Amino acid sequence: MVPRHTSKSSAVSGAHATGAALQPEASVYRVALLGFGTVGRSVAKILCERALPSLRLTHIYNRNIERKKIAGLPADICWTENFDEVLGAGVDLVVEVVGGLEPAGQWVRRALEHGKSVVTANKQLIAHRGVELLEVARACGQQLYFGASVAGGIPVLSGLQEGLAGDQLYKVCGILNGTCNYILSQVENAGIPFAVALREAQQAGFAEADPTDDVDGYDARAKLAILAYAGLNTQVQLDQILCRSIREVDAVDFTYAHQVNCTIRQISRAEVHGNQLLAAVQPALVPFESPLARVLGSQNLVVATGQYGAETVFSGYGAGGNPTAVAIVSDLLAIAQRSPARHAGAPTPITARKVSADFTTPHYVRFTVSDRPGIIAALATIFAKHGINIDAIFQKTGFPKDQLAFVITLESCPAAVMNQALAEIEALDFHVRQPLHLPVLR
């Protein structure tokens, strides 16, 4: 049970909507905020501006706190650099928005052990240690909510575990990283190289100075692991999920993709097949008719597929201080209002499954070669050896002979078979660049 503090003021929130008589007292939950960066400031703003009767921000913890203080917040908020002061201050709910595994992991654990429920937006912490920390929360009779850890302000996790609880979900697929989607949209629409689009994204504030986690898929991989746990009841280790970069995607790939009525997006997907979970984060061709193809800029989108309810789509702006803060405050309210525990503390049945990336799909392969007779024949021979049928060959004019780019699309085959064929193909001596291989979503 979460401890409560009771104010002496009358409760008015919700009375007009329900027609209920005003209560003489309102339960007020004292909230401590760990971290005061972009998201932390937005959380504080919402808590103070909305004046939510059940929540009161009482403590803000951050290093070098004097440099973080801002005007406009209530004067009675305690600003501190001492985490032990937070633990001993009669706080009920702790919000962690510092990020990273440590010291955030120890702070979350200690808060739970000291009888305080926790709300976090820390995707890496939940992806690596979420199951462990949920067990700590249950043992201590507290709640751990992490709705903001995937897709920011889009209520994906609550939608999967509450809104779709009556279905049997077997697949989640989506665009989980707004930075990658912004970069690929720029490459597609402006026809510029990846490196230029990345630099523009950094200048616009969409990409970090070190964009590795985003463009190489590690950010989306952590979110996919959380979705697999929350939606597919499967615990997966991050290193079990195939993770491929978008760095090699260039403007010419969009030209060729458009010829087969597709675009290219970074796609995160996990799918249950009996006792196996197929999971991967990688750039892929997406048909124009798919909702994934219509996600532009820094938006996110998740499609959940169930046995009974078919496809349900969640979309919106996932990143940024305000959307993420909305998800955090929503989780705080869920705890304060005694909503049934969802991704928060209720035991979730976990099914042990083997994890693989061996999806069966059509494939797109872009080759860049030093042209000479017999190249297509050599490629066709290897594909035929592995039982892979060629669907079509595309070659634009205008490329120099020593940098000739052309594309072969292939009929459906398992990724493992495709990888075996590509390993042989990459050993041939006419390549100028390593072939770019992308699955084609169906």
Nearest C-alpha neighbor of 38 from the set 419, 323, 442: 323
What token pair was written down for 67?
Answer: 């440099």
Active site residue 116: no
Which residues, in sequence order, are CB contacts of 181 under 8 Å at separation 6+? 175, 265, 266, 295, 296, 297, 298, 299, 300
Distance CA 274, CA 149 (A): 28
Query: Which amino acid, one-letter code, is at 169?
Result: L
Overall residue count recorded for the chain in this entry:
442
Which residues, in sequence order, are CB contacts of 284 under 8 Å at separation 6+? 264, 265, 266, 267, 438, 439, 440, 441
Distance CA 349, CA 235 (A): 10
Catalytic residue selected from 8, 171, 223, 354:
223
Phi, psi of 347 (to 5 degrees): -60, 135
Distance CA 271, CA 278 (A): 5
| Catalytic residue list | 223
